[in-house]
Every structure is written in structure tokens, then in C-alpha cells.
């Protein structure tokens, strides 16, 4: 009999007996990696969740009538934040694992598969991506939903996020190719009124766009018109495919037009000029890096622009990007970026008197949590285990076979752990994964729907 597992299950039963707003959960005895600069790492600490909020972090808190969860031998850490994923594609996972360039991806996926997607395919793909994110410890996911062919396609993607309980960011964009209703960006007003009327909810809305008109024409390219639409709605902007000379020139135009700033995120940002980086840094614009996408697919220089971002005073967020070719989890992104940057730093200094400027495991965990939240416009909500923020957190088993013994908690998270070590995920105070299992999911039914959707997409000629 697994006594600890039974105790966890009993705790979940007690938690769920109470209305969500009246719950009090006290995690005890954990190593707490807060990612709050003022709190740091707390050895054998306690964390109290009341309702949807972290209310206290420290030692020997005492929980009163709280449900006590013994987290001895575990690490508590903020949930990871994914700043850019095309979630609708997930039933096509790893269908092109060795795609060699952006054109190969664009012509196969965006000019091909995307054109036959029905609203139900949008729903299934987005739901699968969000549940997988939760399973791997991602509590916030920006869904760059660029297949919004009709109002119904947009609604399906949003409803999928709602149904999983993830802290979701729906970044809406029209499709690149094929027939569509041309309802975007005008439909954003309806979407906001219907789904995003409250400032205190799990989902937020952003406008999504491309950097230039090279791939899909001027209608999807960021500029004054789309910036004005976002400003009128009071929402942020996420700009994809930011790389190379054309994007560098676009960045300078955006700076001149005063449409950069903290509410704008530039995705990838590989191969940009020093002048473009200066403009990004001077305006406080945020950056989302896609470590495996840039390197594996080979986007522009194929080198994640972490050094360029840091030199411009920007601490970036991290993203998964496309599951048609890439891994689904944040552990892979952190390790890839950590190894690549340190390799480049040492290589640049090799044979000289220079000292390599290496990033650390703390840096990449910061990018994956607190900086990701800032990049998504949610720095005051999530990204650190700070009292007053929402309870988006992970319990990572540090005494599992692949992690024990616990020597350095941040090193263990970044270099040792994977989704199997995540026993618990809370989002907004609600248990979404518990005792190693994602909750409230009919896996056989989901599997059947995913397979049926994939079969339809693969066997329907491109429109």
C-alpha cells in the first residue's frame, strides 16, 4: 500500500468537499522555490492557499482548519508560463519531426492541414494542448490561435481553454491561407464582450499578428491599424515570425510610430540588427523565445536570441511553438536554452583571455516562470509564489529515482525533472493534477476524439 498516495487522495477529497472560495490548503515541509526576488528559496517551508490566492509563505505557518498536504521531500515552485503555442495543431504532433525550414512548415501545415480544420478540430487540438500543458506543469499558456476561419472556430478554441481550467491567453489571428470569413480583427470586439468581460478571470485576450507581409500578405502584418484596434479594445499584442532584416526594419518603423511597448510581445526575434534590439529595449517591449523551434527548424540564424535580449535589458519568456515538430514541455525549453547559451559563451571565449558570460539554471527558470508571466501581461497575477498572487503552483517530487538526493532545488527542477515528477498542479487554487494524474479528464473519450479529428484532417484535401 502506498501510504503517501492514499494520504494525497484523502486530502483531495477533503479539498473538493468545500466550495472553491472557502478552501484553505496548507502545504508543509517543502523546499519552496518562490522565484520572488525578495523571498528566494525556503528550506522546509509552508505555503498557504486560501481560495484562489497564495496568502502566506514561510516556516511553521499553522493552518487552522486548512487541509494539510505534507510536501516533505518535494519542491514547490510556480507553474511554468508558455508565451506562445499554436495549440490547434496538437492532433498533428510530431507529424514532421525533421522539417528543415520555415517554408516546409508553412506550406505543409498552414497552407495545407489548416485549411480543412472545422471548429470541432480547433476545439480538440486546443483542448489536447492545454491538458498536456497542465500535465507537464505549464499553468499558463498563450494560445497563438492563427486559424480563426470563422467566429465558430474562435469560439471553439476559447471554449477548449475554458474547459480545461488552464490560465489561458487567447491570442487571435486570421489564417494565412485558404478560404475564411474575413471576420478578423473585427470579431475581436464580440469575442471580448462574450468571453473576456471580467478583469478577474482565468482567460485573457490578445491580438495576434505577423511581423511582416512576406508570408501571408499585409492584412496579418502588425502596424498602426492593428495597434489601434488592440488599443481600442485594451488588449495586448503578440507578434510572431519576428526575424531577419525585414523584421528589423519593421521594428524600427513600429518604434517610430510609437506602437511598441510593454504590452507588445515579439516572438522569436532571431537575426535582428543591433538597432532593432536597441528600439525593443528602449520601449520596454517584451520578447518570447522559442529555443527548440529556432534551433531545430532553423529559423533565420537558428540561435535563440537570449544574449541579444539580455544585452538590451530584456529578460525574455519562453515558448513551445509548434507541436507538429517539437517537444511539448517547458523542461525541454529550459535545458535547450541553458546548454546552447553556455556552449556559445565558452566557444566565443575559447583561445582568448575573455571570460565566458554564462546564464544559469536560475535564469532559465526565471524566464519560464516570472518573466513568462510578465511577457503575457500577467506579472501581477502569476509567475512567482508571492503572497497575494493567484495559486498557480507545482509540487515536484525531489525524492523520486531520477531526482534524489535533493542537493540544489533549482538545478533539480531545470536539469533533473520531467512531467512524471510533477505530482500536483494547482491553477487559481484549483487542483488540476493530483497524485500524478490530470483530473477530470475522460482519457479514452479524448483519445477517440483526437484520433477521429486527425483522421479527418489528414484525409481531407486542402481547401
Answer yes or no: do 351 and 395 share one domain. Answer: no
Residue carrying the nine cell digits 516533505? 72
Write out the H or E segment, with its range, that includes residue 397: strand 393-397
Q: Please name which of 291, 176, 309, 287 lies closest in space to residue 242, comparing C-alpha atoms.
A: 287
CATH number at residue 175: 3.20.20.140
Q: Could you tell me the residue range of the domain that residue 412 belongs to?
A: 3-78+382-438
Is 272:251 a contact under the CB 8 Å cutoff? yes
Answer yes or no: do 59 and 179 share one domain. Answer: no
CATH number at residue 16: 2.30.40.10
In sequence order, what are the residues at sequence separation of 6 or more whose Cβ sits closer than 8 angstroms to the Cβ of residue 372? 80, 81, 82, 83, 140, 317, 318, 383
Answer yes or no: do 185 and 198 share one domain. Answer: yes
Give CA–CA dist 457/463, Å, rounded.
11
Any domain includes 432: yes
Answer yes or no: do 64 and 189 share one domain. Answer: no
Last-in-domain residue among 375, 391, 410 = 375
Is 267:238 a contact under the CB 8 Å cutoff? yes
Answer yes or no: do 371 and 411 share one domain. Answer: no
Is 32:386 a contact under the CB 8 Å cutoff? no
87-104 burial: b if 16+ Cβ within 10 Å, else e: bbbbbbbebeeebeebee
Any domain includes 321: yes
423-440 burial: b if 16+ Cβ within 10 Å, else e: bbbbbbbbbbbbbeeeee
Residue carrying the nine cell digits 507553474? 79
Any domain includes 205: yes
Q: Is 300 left (phi over 0), alpha (psi -120 to 50) or beta?
A: left
Distance of CA 32 to the CA centre of its chain: 22
Three-state secondary structure call for residue 121: helix
| pLDDT for position 1 | 34
Answer yes or no: do 413 and 370 share one domain. Answer: no
Any domain includes 444: no
Sign of CA dihedral 263, 191, 289, 107: negative
| pLDDT for position 4 | 64
Residue carrying the nine cell digits 480563426? 148
Is 25:48 a contact under the CB 8 Å cutoff? yes
Pairing assessment for the beta strands 236-243 and 264-270 based on DSSP bridges = parallel
**Number of domains into which the chain is organized:** 2
Any domain includes 445: no
Is 57:387 a contact under the CB 8 Å cutoff? yes
Any domain includes 256: yes
Phi then psi dihedrals of residue 226, to 5 deg: -70, -35
Answer yes or no: do 156 and 231 share one domain. Answer: yes
Answer yes or no: do 120 and 262 share one domain. Answer: yes
Answer yes or no: do 58 and 111 share one domain. Answer: no
Any domain includes 273: yes
Please report, in tens digits, the pLDDT of each residue of the chain (463 residues total).
344 667 778 899 999 999 888 899 999 999 999 999 999 999 999 999 999 999 999 988 877 889 999 999 999 999 999 999 999 999 999 999 999 999 999 999 999 999 999 999 999 999 999 999 999 999 999 999 999 999 999 999 999 999 999 999 999 999 999 999 999 999 999 999 999 988 779 999 999 999 999 887 889 999 999 999 999 999 999 999 999 999 999 999 999 999 999 999 999 999 999 999 999 999 999 999 999 999 999 999 999 999 999 999 999 999 999 999 999 999 999 999 999 999 999 999 999 999 999 999 999 999 999 999 999 999 999 999 999 999 999 999 999 999 999 999 999 999 999 999 999 999 999 999 999 999 999 999 999 999 999 999 999 999 8
Answer yes or no: do 73 and 143 share one domain. Answer: no
**Cα separations (Å) of 31 from 101, 121, 396, 400, 407?**
42, 41, 10, 15, 11
Last-in-domain residue among 327, 357, 375 = 375
Q: Please name which of 40, 34, 79, 42 lies closest in space to residue 60, comparing C-alpha atoms.
A: 42
What are residue 33's DSSP bridge partners? Answer: 41
Last-in-domain residue among 333, 360, 375 = 375
Answer yes or no: do 59 and 96 share one domain. Answer: no
Answer yes or no: do 84 and 57 share one domain. Answer: no
Amino acid at each position: 500500500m502506498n501510504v503517501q498516495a492514499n494520504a494525497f487522495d484523502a486530502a483531495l477529497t477533503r479539498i473538493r468537499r468545500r466550495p472553491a472560495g472557502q478552501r484553505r490548503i496548507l502545504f508543509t515541509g517543502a523546499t519552496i522555490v518562490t522565484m520572488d526576488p525578495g523571498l528566494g528559496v525556503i528550506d522546509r517551508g509552508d505555503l498557504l492557499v486560501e481560495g484562489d490566492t497564495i496568502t502566506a509563505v514561510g516556516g511553521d505557518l499553522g493552518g487552522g482548519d486548512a487541509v494539510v498536504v505534507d510536501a516533505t521531500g518535494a519542491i514547490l515552485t510556480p507553474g511554468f508560463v508558455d508565451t506562445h503555442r499554436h495549440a490547434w495543431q496538437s492532433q498533428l504532433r510530431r507529424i514532421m519531426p525533421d522539417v528543415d525550414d520555415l517554408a516546409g512548415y508553412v506550406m505543409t501545415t498552414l497552407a495545407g492541414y489548416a485549411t480543412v480544420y472545422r471548429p470541432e478540430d480547433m476545439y480538440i487540438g486546443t483542448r489536447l494542448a492545454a491538458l498536456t500543458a497542465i500535465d507537464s506543469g505549464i499553468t499558463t499558456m498563450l494560445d497563438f490561435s492563427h486559424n480563426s476561419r470563422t467566429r465558430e472556430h474562435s469560439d471553439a478554441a476559447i471554449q477548449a481553454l475554458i474547459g480545461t481550467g488552464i490560465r489561458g491567453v487567447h491570442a487571435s489571428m486570421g489564417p494565412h491561407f485558404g478560404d475564411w470569413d474575413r471576420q478578423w480583427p473585427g470579431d475581436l470586439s464580440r469575442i471580448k464582450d462574450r468571453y473576456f468581460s471580467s478583469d478577474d478571470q482565468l482567460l485573457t485576450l490578445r491580438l495576434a499578428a505577423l511581423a511582416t507581409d512576406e508570408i501571408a500578405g499585409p492584412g496579418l502584418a502588425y502596424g498602426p491599424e492593428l495597434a489601434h484596434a488592440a488599443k481600442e479594445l485594451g488588449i495586448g499584442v503578440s507578434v510572431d515570425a519576428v526575424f531577419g532584416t525585414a523584421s528589423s526594419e519593421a521594428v524600427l518603423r513600429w518604434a517610430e510610430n510609437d506602437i511598441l511597448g510593454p504590452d507588445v510581445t515579439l516572438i522569436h526575434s532571431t537575426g535582428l540588427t543591433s538597432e532593432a534590439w536597441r528600439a525593443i529595449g528602449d520601449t520596454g517591449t517584451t520578447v518570447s523565445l522559442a529555443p527548440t523551434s529556432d534551433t531545430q527548424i532553423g529559423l533565420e540564424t537558428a540561435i535563440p536570441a537570449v544574449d541579444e535580449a539580455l544585452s538590451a535589458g530584456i529578460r525574455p519568456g519562453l515558448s513551445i511553438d509548434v507541436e507538429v515538430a517539437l517537444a511539448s514541455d517547458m523542461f525541454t525549453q529550459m535545458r535547450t536554452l541553458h546548454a546552447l547559451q553556455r556552449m556559445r559563451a565558452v566557444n566565443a571565449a575559447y583561445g582568448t583571455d575573455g571570460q565566458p558570460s554564462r546564464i544559469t539554471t536560475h535564469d532559465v527558470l526565471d524566464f519560464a516562470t516570472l518573466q513568462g508571466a510578465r511577457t503575457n501581461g500577467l506579472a501581477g497575477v502569476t509567475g512567482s509564489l508571492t503572497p497575494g498572487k493567484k495559486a498557480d503552483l507545482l509540487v515536484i517530487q525531489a525524492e523520486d529515482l531520477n531526482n534524489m538526493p535533493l542537493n540544489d532545488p533549482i538545478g533539480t527542477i531545470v536539469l533533473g525533472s520531467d512531467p512524471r515528477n510533477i505530482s500536483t498542479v494547482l491553477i487559481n487554487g484549483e487542483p488540476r493534477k493530483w497524485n500524478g494524474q490530470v483530473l477530470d479528464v475522460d482519457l479514452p473519450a479524448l483519445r477517440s476524439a483526437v484520433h477521429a479529428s486527425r483522421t479527418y484532417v489528414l484525409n481531407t484535401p486542402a481547401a
